[in-house]
Amino acid sequence: MKGLTFGLVLAFVLVAATSVQAQEKTATDEKIPVKEMWLKKKEDFKFDIRMMVQLWSLYSMDQEIYNAETGEYEGVDNRLNTNLRRARLIMRGQPYPRLKYSLAMFYDLAGRDLLSSSIGGANPAQPNFGVWDGFFQYQLTKGSQAAWLTGGWFRPQMQRESITSGWSVNSFEKSMSQNYVRRHLVGTGPGRAAGLNIGGLFQGEKVGLNYNLGVFNPLTTSPLGQTVGREFAPLIAGRAVLYLGDPELTKYKIGYETNFYNKRKGVSLDFNASYQGQTDLFEESLAFGPGMLLNWGPLNLDGEWIFMTRSSTRTSSDGASRAFDYTSNTGHVRVGYNITVGKYMLEPVFMVMQFNGGETAEEQADASAVGSFSGSEQTYDAGVNLYLDRRNLKLMLHYTWRDGDPGAAGDGARVNQFFSQSGVGAIRRGNWLGLGLHAIF
């Protein structure tokens, strides 16, 4: 019986093989194309590698550290500090007609002195190297920019300042408003989270629309570690942008520009929003607000204002349980003007940033309970940019000065970014004069 079964199987295989060969011969003889298997890579596919560097040389003034033993702030020496504010290695490409990828590695803040008055942490003496962005993009609508799917590790598309590269803004440093919004959304300064986003672009002759809507899972809002916590709720974030006049984008992407080097006459009006339900840290969290970008020949003007709210319940000093909504807000206005100098471009720039949080003891206790900032902070930036090859190569000379108010929390409180430095503790941040070289190779 086994021999018969084996013989039948062998006969079937031989007949099938003979049939396939006959079909292939017939197709060849009759010149009927045989359908090929598998998706083919683009013939012109190339592996694109870029190096991006911001080399800063800063002279810091008036930085102070809080001495808990004396209850007073003590000044540190003014200092010169040269560091790599941002340094990236970018690898990207489009291996298939509708599929793209991007991977960005970083070694930011190498050489930064923690007692200089700029912002950010510090990279160790032997700088760390890690993943900054890593995502794919798939064009859902063939031949149209109407719908793209983005997935991976990237910034939720909410607040223009957060999703615009540090090489594309025209102030010396990005507005600190982005840090407050990023921490509200995902809990960290870099502002990245894993997620999926659908976005697209519709463009008429003088009117256009850009939209994004994504779902993300931030993992930094629980004391348990790398988890959203016992209570789970995804972050939903998105924005819609109306273009009037010349478009801001002609192809969909999730990175943006501020200066179009006199080539654009148009305005972009955007509205941003995010929502997250109950987690271990809060019962509900939302943010929303408008923004705009105006480019009119040599004039570049942008600004935005974002409102942030977290809701929860806590026990008051009298022992009663009280439900509360804690609200803060932040934003900036920035203006620059391009002046052509030979084959280069000079741009004087001025920016002001404001953060407003709770000032009373009860408001600040509410803020602490839901991991939010309080008090207030202001930043002012004035300087000039020299563009040698658009944003690919530019020199910057700016002066940045700051002020802040801790509210009822008083001295020594680390209620917002003006009063706190990672690796140091409570501070009052100073001012700086900065010379910067920004390069993309």
How many domains is the chain built from? 1
What is the number of alpha carbons within 13 Å of residue 230 lying toward its C-beta?
2
CA 42 to chain centre: 30
| Measured CA distances, 88 to 48, 153, 165, 429 (Å) | 14, 16, 11, 27
Residue 21 lies in a domain: no
Which of 67-71, 119-123, 274-278, 366-370 has the least mean pLDDT? Answer: 119-123
Domain membership flag for residue 131: yes
pLDDT tops 70 at residue 311? yes
Does residue 28 lie within any of the structural domains? no
Q: Which two tokens stand for residue 330?
A: 């932040």
Give pTM, 2 decimals: 0.90
Q: What is the DSSP letter of 164?
A: B
Instruction: Count H helices and E strands in the chain, helices first.
Output: 4, 21
**pLDDT(17) > 50:** no
Q: Is 25 part of a structural domain of the chain?
A: no
CA–CA separation, 312 and 255 (whole Å): 34
Q: How many residues does the chain have?
A: 441
Read off the CATH number of the domain in which 342 is found. 2.40.160.10
For 323-354, b/e burial (b = at least 16 CB within 10 A) is ebebbbbbbbbbbbebeeeeeebebebbbbbb
143: in domain: yes
Which tens digit of pLDDT belongs to each residue from 266-306?
Answer: 999 999 999 999 999 999 999 999 999 999 999 999 999 99
Q: What percent of the chain has pLDDT over 70?
A: 92
Residue 35 lies in a domain: no
**Does residue 177 have a pLDDT over 80?**
yes
Res 13 pLDDT > 70: no
- For residue 176, what is the DSSP state? T
pLDDT at residue 2 in the model: 40
Residue 199's closest CA among 143, 161, 237? Answer: 237
Whole domain around residue 76: which residue ranges? Answer: 41-440
pLDDT in the model for residue 34: 59
Tell me if 102 sits within 8 A of 47, measured CB to CB. Answer: no
Non-local (6+) Cβ contacts of 5 within 8 A are none
Query: What is the per-residue pLDDT for 46?
Result: 87
Of the CA atoms within 13 Å of residue 282, those in its CB half-sphere come to 28
Enumerate residues 6+ apart whose C-beta is below 8 A from 284.
275, 276, 277, 278, 309, 310, 311
d(CA 355, CA 308): 11
Query: What count of other Cβ atoms lies within 10 Å of the Cβ of residue 321?
Result: 8
Over 138-153, what HEC string results?
EECCCCCCCCEEEEEE
Weakest mean pLDDT among 47-61, 310-324, 342-356, 395-409: 310-324
Residue at 162 is within a domain: yes
Q: Is the pLDDT confidence value at 19 over 60?
A: no
In this predicted structure, the answer to whether residue 5 has a pLDDT above a threshold of 80 is no
Give the percent of the chain with pLDDT over 90: 83
pLDDT at 12 over 60: no
Establish if 245 belongs to a structural domain.
Answer: yes
Res. 364: pLDDT tops 70: yes
Q: How far apart are CA 86 and CA 174, in angstroms?
A: 12
